[in-house]
């Protein structure tokens, strides 16, 4: 059963990818421009730490590591699941009903909607940033690298869940897709500097309400020597995979409820 | 002149229609205002003698960072996608044949969104900032220079935008160039990090590029980093680049119009 789904997923997505690569020049320019965008954030961290080497206990390479970890997870989200952003217009346009009538799980059908090549630009920038910073952070072992891989997948799952939960509002209201712009902003802005530079209200918001800080801020501490500045509790640095799992389960539950409520956009 | 003014007003009215989008834009921008302020506050708290070495105090830098976020509202929205669509279906020819100047038409439109940005984003946020935070504002000559500088910054960003939009006519696919332009503008203009924060050699190069006229000059005027006779030098710098880019865009436009006629037969 699961094997069938995996095979189907790979087949549909590779067909999607081939169609996106029909114009190779556009493909390359598109991916490279997003890579450039991702690297510009690393450049900003570098410029600032040339004048101020340590910000709340974080040096140049720790900052680059954190922001690159988010870039990589964001790239996975964009490449494979960016259709979440268009859930409201798919529903209003009636296109979404297609997934409901297929003899497959609607969540699965929706996940195979498209592949977004710009995500590869983010992944590339993220991996470059990780590679640069990992060279300057001591104590890497195979186990740690394997755990980093778990964190990348967990981070992508957290972003997917948050985006889906906001996207699912559309089942009840038939609109509200614009809310995601605020989430996008929170993700892009609050994964660049340590959470401790922000005020208490923002720290609570980004840890307990919209757990954006679990994507790259808390787990980064796992690889650093100095862990004295973790807000709330040092335990948080181990929780990313658990937060991801919980959020995915909640999201699936909300999605199911949403499909029950949804009766189609037309009459 | 009247037809351009009418177009400006129409753009303003069209933009006002999307109330919910506007609300989200303001919320977004205010989250960024708070975030930027706290980031720079932390950077100053961590940097020894930063106020002395840069000549800008923590308070002034926080003002700079907050206003930088707000000033993004003066940058005209990109018309690149629309132009590249029009090139694809050929309707760009009709725009160029209409009895008005192609560039002035786009300027009139940009002016509409500029007015919208001032009325609905800049003014409410400035009021909010004055209510919540302590900031020193310029007075007298410095204030006049700031306003003039913001107008020139708008003109500069319009011209850069227009030149990039024109490349849409040459290469119908423009998405990548558009992203490239906004990254270069964000970094080189001082919107993310002020120019005096860059390593000295890089800073000196950036000082000669037109981008710093969009954020670095008006914001430095606001916080008093630029004062005395330097005010006129910097405003002349903005005006000079406006003139150069205007000439360049006119030449480019003339060349493109000729090319379009030729390829149209």
Choice among A253-257, B14-18, B116-120, B149-153 with the minimum mean pLDDT? B14-18
Report the gap between the CA of B121 and the closest CA in chain A (Å): 16
A266 band by pLDDT with thresholds 50, 70 and 90: low
- Please give the structure tokens belonging to residue B141: 């000559």
Rounded to the nearest 5 degrees, what angle is found at the Cα of B189, between the Cα atoms of B185 and B190? Answer: 130
| Residue A1: pLDDT over 50 | yes
Closest Cβ opposite residue A40 in set B20, B35, B183: B183
A32 touches B: beta carbon within 8 Å: yes
Query: Average pLDDT of chain A?
Result: 86
Could you tell me which residues come within 8 angstroms of residue A123 by beta carbon, excluding any fewer than 6 positions away? A71, A72, A75, A76, A79
Its ipTM equals 0.84
pLDDT digits (tens, 9 = 90+) for A194-222: 988 898 888 898 889 889 999 999 998 88
**Residues of chain B that touch chain A, judged by Cβ-Cβ distance less than 8 Å:** 20-21, 24, 27-28, 31-32, 34-35, 38-39, 41-43, 46-47, 50, 53-54, 173, 175-177, 179-180, 183, 186-187, 192-193, 197-199
Contact B42 A30 (CB under 8 A): no
Closest Cβ opposite residue A50 in set B38, B50, B199: B199
| Residue A267: pLDDT over 50 | no
Rounded average pLDDT over B134-138:
85
Rounded average pLDDT over A233-248:
88
Contact B173 A190 (CB under 8 A): no
A25 chain-B contacts, CB cut-off 8 A: 173
**Burial per residue of B110-128, b for 16 or more beta-carbon CB atoms within 10 angstroms, e otherwise:** bbbbbebbeebbbeebbee
Query: Average pLDDT of chain B?
Result: 86
Choice among A32-36, A174-178, A219-223, B19-23 with the minimum mean pLDDT? A174-178
Contact B31 A189 (CB under 8 A): yes
pLDDT over 90, % of chain B: 31
Rounded average pLDDT over A167-194:
81
Contact B39 A193 (CB under 8 A): yes
Report the gap between the CA of B171 and the closest CA in chain A (Å): 11
Report the gap between the CA of A194 and the closest CA in chain B (Å): 9
Rounded average pLDDT over A130-149:
89
Contact A52 B179 (CB under 8 A): no
Q: Is B203 left (phi over 0), alpha (psi -120 to 50) or beta?
A: alpha
* Between residues A161 and B14, the one the model is more confident about: A161
Choice among B61-70, B77-86, B139-148 with the minimum mean pLDDT? B77-86
B261 band by pLDDT with thresholds 50, 70 and 90: low
Provide the pLDDT for residue B53.
80
Rounded average pLDDT over A115-126:
89
Any idea where the domains of chain A sit in the sequence? 1-261
Rounded average pLDDT over A60-71:
92
Chain pair A-B, CB pairs under 8 angstroms: 86
Task: Please state, in angstroms and rounded to a whole number, the distance separating the CA atoms of residues A45 and A129.
Answer: 11
Task: Please state, in angstroms and rounded to a whole number, the distance separating the CA atoms of residues B245 and B210.
Answer: 9
Contact A197 B177 (CB under 8 A): no
Task: Please state, in angstroms and rounded to a whole number, the distance separating the CA atoms of residues A249 and B31.
Answer: 29
| Residue B265: pLDDT over 60 | no
Provide the pLDDT for residue A16.
83
Provide the pLDDT for residue A263.
67
B193, closest residue in chain A (CA to CA): A44
| Residue A183: pLDDT over 90 | no
Task: Please state, in angstroms and rounded to a whole number, the distance separating the CA atoms of residues B126 and B129.
Answer: 5
A205 touches B: beta carbon within 8 Å: no
Contact B35 A190 (CB under 8 A): yes
Choice among A8-12, B165-169, B223-227, B249-253 with the minimum mean pLDDT? B165-169
| Residue A23: pLDDT over 80 | no
A181 touches B: beta carbon within 8 Å: yes
| Residue A94: pLDDT over 80 | no
The burial of B20, by beta-carbon neighbours within 10 Å (0-12 exposed, 13-18 middle, 19 or more buried), is given as exposed
pLDDT over 90, % of chain A: 27
Please state the separation of Cα A128 from the chain's center in Å: 17
Choice among A136-150, B1-15, B138-152 with the minimum mean pLDDT? B1-15
Rounded average pLDDT over A19-32:
79
B50 chain-A contacts, CB cut-off 8 A: 51-52
> Which of A198, A210, A231 should one mutate to test binding to chain B, selecting the residue with the greatest count of B CBs within 10 A?
A198
A93 band by pLDDT with thresholds 50, 70 and 90: confident
**Burial per residue of A71-84, b for 16 or more beta-carbon CB atoms within 10 angstroms, e otherwise:** bbbbbbbbbbbbbb
A43 touches B: beta carbon within 8 Å: yes
B192 chain-A contacts, CB cut-off 8 A: 44
B167 chain-A contacts, CB cut-off 8 A: none
Contact A51 B24 (CB under 8 A): no
Question: Does residue B206 contact residue B195 with C-beta atoms inside 8 Å?
Answer: yes
The burial of A97, by beta-carbon neighbours within 10 Å (0-12 exposed, 13-18 middle, 19 or more buried), is given as middle
Choice among A111-125, A143-157, A222-236 with the minimum mean pLDDT? A222-236
A176 band by pLDDT with thresholds 50, 70 and 90: low
Helix, strand, coil share of chain A (percent; to 5) = 75, 0, 25
Neighbours of B201 (CB within 10 A): 8
The burial of A2, by beta-carbon neighbours within 10 Å (0-12 exposed, 13-18 middle, 19 or more buried), is given as exposed
Neighbours of B99 (CB within 10 A): 5
Choice among A12-16, A101-105, B149-153, B169-173 with the minimum mean pLDDT? B169-173
A186 touches B: beta carbon within 8 Å: yes
On the CB side of A128, how many CA atoms lie within 13 Å of its CA? 17
Helical H segments across chain B, by residue range: 2-16, 19-46, 50-54, 58-71, 80-89, 92-97, 102-116, 123-132, 140-170, 175-188, 200-208, 216-223, 230-264
pTM across the whole model: 0.87
| Residue A265: pLDDT over 60 | no
Question: Does residue A3 contact residue A90 with C-beta atoms inside 8 Å?
Answer: no
B103 band by pLDDT with thresholds 50, 70 and 90: confident
Report the gap between the CA of A127 and the closest CA in chain B (Å): 19
Rounded average pLDDT over B21-30:
82
């Amino acid at each position: 059963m699961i094997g069938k789904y995996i095979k189907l997923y790979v087949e549909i997505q590779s067909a999607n990818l081939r169609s996106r690569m029909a114009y190779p020049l556009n493909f390359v320019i598109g991916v490279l421009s997003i890579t450039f965008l991702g690297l510009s954030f690393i450049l900003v961290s570098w410029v600032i730490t040339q004048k101020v080497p340590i910000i709340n206990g974080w040096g140049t390479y720790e900052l680059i590591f954190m922001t690159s970890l988010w870039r990589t997870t964001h790239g996975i989200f964009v490449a494979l699941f960016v259709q979440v952003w268009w859930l409201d217009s798919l529903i209003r346009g009636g296109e979404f009903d297609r997934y409901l009538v297929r003899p497959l799980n609607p969540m699965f059908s929706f996940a195979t909607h498209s592949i977004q090549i710009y995500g590869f630009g983010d992944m590339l920038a993220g991996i470059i940033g990780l590679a640069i910073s990992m060279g300057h952070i001591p104590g890497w072992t195979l186990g740690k690298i394997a755990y980093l891989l778990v964190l990348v997948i967990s981070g992508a799952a957290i972003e997917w869940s948050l985006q889906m939960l906001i996207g699912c509002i559309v089942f009840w209201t038939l609109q509200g897709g614009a809310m995601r712009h605020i989430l996008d902003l929170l993700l892009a802005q609050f994964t660049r500097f340590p959470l401790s530079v922000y005020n208490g209200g923002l720290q609570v918001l980004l840890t307990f309400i919209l757990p954006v800080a679990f994507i790259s801020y808390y787990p980064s501490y796992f690889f650093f020597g100095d862990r004295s500045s973790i807000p709330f509790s040092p335990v948080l640095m181990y929780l990313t995979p658990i937060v991801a799992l919980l959020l995915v389960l909640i999201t699936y539950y909300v999605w199911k409820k949403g499909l029950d409520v949804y009766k189609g956009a037309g009459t | 002149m009247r037809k351009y003014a009418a177009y400006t007003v129409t753009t303003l009215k069209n933009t006002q229609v999307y109330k919910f989008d506007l609300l989200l834009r303001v919320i977004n921008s205010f989250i960024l205002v708070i975030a930027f302020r706290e980031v720079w506050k932390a950077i100053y708290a961590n940097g020894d003698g930063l106020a002395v070495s840069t000549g800008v105090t923590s308070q002034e830098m926080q003002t700079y960072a907050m206003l930088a976020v707000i000033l993004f509202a003066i940058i005209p929205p990109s018309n690149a996608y629309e132009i590249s669509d029009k090139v694809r279906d050929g309707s760009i020819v009709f725009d160029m044949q209409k009895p008005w100047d192609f560039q002035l038409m786009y300027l009139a439109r940009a002016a509409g969104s500029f007015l919208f940005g001032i009325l609905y984003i800049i003014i409410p946020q400035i009021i909010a900032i004055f209510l919540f935070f302590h900031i020193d504002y310029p007075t007298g000559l410095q204030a006049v220079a700031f306003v003039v500088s913001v107008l020139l910054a708008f003109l500069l960003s319009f011209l850069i935008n227009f030149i990039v939009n024109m490349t849409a006519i040459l290469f119908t696919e423009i998405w990548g160039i558009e992203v490239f332009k906004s990254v270069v503008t964000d970094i080189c203009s001082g919107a993310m990090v002020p120019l005096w924060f860059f390593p000295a050699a890089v800073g000196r190069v950036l000082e000669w590029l037109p981008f710093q006229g969009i954020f670095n000059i008006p914001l430095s005027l606001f916080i008093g980093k630029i004062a005395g006779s330097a005010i006129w030098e910097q405003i002349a710098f903005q005006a000079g680049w406006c003139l150069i880019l205007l000439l360049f865009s006119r030449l480019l436009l003339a060349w493109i119009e000729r090319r379009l006629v030729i390829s149209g037969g």
